[in-house]
Structure 1
Amino acid sequence: MEIEINSIWEFRDVEGFKDGIYRVLRIEDNISALIVFNLEHTTKIVRPALLQIEHFRVRFKKKKIQKTIYELSPYLLHDEEIIPVKYKSLREERYKKIKELVQDPDLLFDFSTKRKIPEVSIQAIKCGTDNKTIYRLLNLYWRLGQTKNSLLPAYSLSGGKGKIREAVNNSLGTKPVSRTGQFCSHQSYIVKEKDRELFEKALKKYYLKPNGLNLKETYKNLLRQSYQFEILDAYYLDTIPGVPSYRQFINWSKKIFDQHEIVKFRTSETDYLRNKRAVEASITDRTPLPGSCFEIDATVADVHIVSELRRNHVIGRPTIYSIIDRASRMIVGFHVSLYHASWKAARQALVNAFSSKIEYCQQFGIEISEDDWPCSHLPQRLICDNGEMIGLKPQELIVPLTELQIAPPYRPDCKSLVERRFGYLNDKSLHRLLGSSRGGKIIRGSPDPRKSAIYTLREITTLLIRDVIEHNKEIFDDLPPVSGLLSPLNNHYV
């Protein structure tokens, strides 16, 4: 057990001491005692206390005294250059008042053993202040670490931001004034605890739910349900009803529910998890190296194709299977076919990802080197949908090679990289072609894209392969900050 000056200790059931957290101000070796100070925040003046070291050790062995941590406010931890000059001058002015007291090594013992300290009165007269001010500055100095910065003004802790002011009898805002002066302006309504409860009830009932009403309609329903008698009385008496205003209702709705809760309650759970939830990190944080994780998915291409045997015969839209390396954003596997999203088409894309691309590109008349598409490896894990990969065949053939992870239903954000690459291929190439459906954005009355289709499956595949190779050579500036291990690889295939 080591006892150091300014160390923090928690006292529990220690005779002569109130339960709480204490700071060791001084170690009196000549009498084997400690001078400790209670760190409880109070408006009362607190005196240091004397504790024998032997008594301290006995209570420590019985676990009635334990070492702990006392977190200081952020304003005390600022660098000297950041502190404003105004705050520094106030700090020096305060320290000047207690400098002679805190620099006297014997005076701290007197504070802990004597009731009256004549030196405090002498110092107060010298500084032109009172004894109470000196004691408060000493308490602040002892509580916050016995440094000059402990006397900095705590303006950041002042005020009542975020706190509700109770027992308000008068309006806190600007008083309404009649524009012409011919009529008396109505008195501002003061929102009480009962009104806040009605606000919360109306917000939960009408506003905080998927497809809920807007705030204006919610306010109208609040008046109809909770303030109908006040409105009727004002109508018959020809006066202004004493009800909360719409502006008051909006302001209190922001105080009762924060923005995070409003967004969460006004949308479905799936939409919240996909598009609106707070994200603390990137999906690449757990996949720092290429090959750590592959993502696989399929989509229907936004272009109609024709048969190679009969060019005037439209056979539909092909299915594109893509496999993306999560760390490097590289398209490592690729397959285009007339199959729907199924295991038959997915296994072709997997074979393409695990094998060399030179022979595959030669089938479509494209000559490449190994550096143009450097991927023929197995990933550490593979993330896929819970569709074609849930079955006996995928489990039998893939699981022995790599770890297979199934994404939750309706959660494309779990494999967002491969989803975005489909948009990249469609926007870059397919939407410019004849026969493209442009993602369904067809204006009414425009020509049918199927009538202008001229490309075959082989031609579309050749075009997409060239786009994939070009994509793999692009440089993504956001990858090195995510993982420093990718910076030397950036110029090769990212």
Structure 2
Amino acid sequence: MSKLDLSIGSKVFYNNVEHIILKAVNFHTLSIAPTNNQNEIINVKIQDLSSKPQEEKTQLDSYTDEEWSEAKKKYNAIKELVFRKKSRDEVEEVAAKYKVTAMTVYRWIKTYEESEKISSLISSKHKRGKKGSRIEPLTNKVIEDVIEELYLTKQRIGFPKIFNTIKAECKKLNIIPPHENTVRNRIKTIDPKFALKKRFSAKKANEKYGNFEGEYPEGNFPLEVYQIDHTPLDIILVDSHSRKPLGRPYLTLAIDVYSRMVAGFYLSLQAPGYFSVSQCLYNAFLPKDDFLKKYDIQGEWEIYGIPSKYAVDNGKDLIGLDMQRVCDEFGMTMVRRPVGRPQYGSHVERIFLTINKEIHNLPGTTFSNIAEKAEYDSIKNATFTLDEITKWLTEFIVNVYHNRVHHGIGMTPRQKYSLGIFGDDENPGTGLPPIVEDRESIKIALLPAFYRTVQKDGITLDGITYYSDVLRTWINRDDEQGNKLKFKVKRDPLSIQKLYFFDPELKEYFELSYRKLHAPDMTVWDLYTAKRYLKENSIKDTNEDDLFDAYERLTHIEKQAKEKTAKHKIRKSKAPKMSDIKSKSKTESQVVKEKETKQADDVFHDLFDNIETFHIKE
């Protein structure tokens, strides 16, 4: 996965011509010059630059675990030698330890220094593909499940039982079991601190791998540490169509410890899970210009990039093997909060308190406790939709929180971040962080994966069939045992109109669309609602037409409810008030009498207009 290095002296391409970066003008503009004529200085927008004239996209999960393990082994061998002067003796020492030639070690170092990516150390033989060398997706799934259920437990089950269980599961599914070394290599790829915590205790893991005590350490520079966590917001949201109450949303947020800048967030009505974390990181990794434009926010959200570390709670949903691979590729280190040590997540917890305190001023707030809520009816006063509260939260973060003096750092988060990036007379800045160029690749890599066979009509997932011509060569393919091959597909829960199909030969993803081209787009939660509707109405033997029809009927019901509510409000606003009716029913004599009474009162009050006050001396 390519990154655009924005540090001074780095080579970039502008209009497919190689340039060198001279300085950062601001967060959006750089001064550059052609490498063959550095006197021809121009200022350009960062978004117009690239790392290569034609960048070949590589998917993070296009390699097997064996290939990834091999690449990490090479990286561990050379990580102390890269980007510095090294002696021949040092290189030969590494070569002897890993039983390769010194020239091989030099080649590994050069390869990594050119790309700064672990995936670059995967051998070209693997990148071209070796027939029969890759594990089938279903076998991969079996390995992952057994490791999760047996290896990562306090029982500390030994390897023989783990391997025998994998073989037994493969036999049940009529698939070829993996080689013993394949399973061993898979276990080696697991983060050792994570494994120690799961198999022994968090305390033991922290004693061996922890590097601090007390409160979570202050970041020494921007993007050194991101903290990430979830919290429910103290507000009831309503449906955008019917305006009926839906419940409290969950916020997943990443904060830069050094500057206290919010690096990214994700807001959802669903309980936090892997998808919430991945979307929060996706938002944190990338520049926010498009995000601000989507919600029509006037302001700057300068922070983006890959942190050196990101700290998380011990929830299972916060870390997975796929996320570990993303961390490996970008050089991030996962840091888990020790159990029973809440001070380790204090920075993100504080901003949660700040946000909820502001939300207590909004209609529909639930407040933080029953006593504070008192007689306030949160449901009756609920007003905000998910999109509206997302816009409100973005506006608050960008234009209020980032510009408010933070007592912990003695300045605003925006000032602190700018200081860390550009520096001042006393402190050199780190410079602008590199930009992830191939956004689609990281987006797909972070999506949840499924495994399905390819039939004549395409691939079916959750009752909906998808198709594209790229599937033709894989229709009804069997493995060597005569079983149907299963292929990896990924789906965005926010839009299930298409799938991403991973071609195992071309090693890239292709988009598959609905087989029924005019079917409505839905979220995965819309789909589950439609299925529940069919079940509640005792509609059996359903197909995708029934699902789409059910979704459209539900949408129509919501639309009608919204129209009825709007008409009711209009009628209510136009209806005459009882006071008006009573006023119109008054007789002429009553009106005259009231007028005379008012005039008499006015005369009475006028008698006291010019009265002077006398002070009596004692």
TM-score, normalised with respect to structure 1: 0.39
Over alpha carbons, which structure has the higher Rg? Answer: 1
Higher-RCO chain (CA-CA 8 Å, sequence separation at least 6):
2
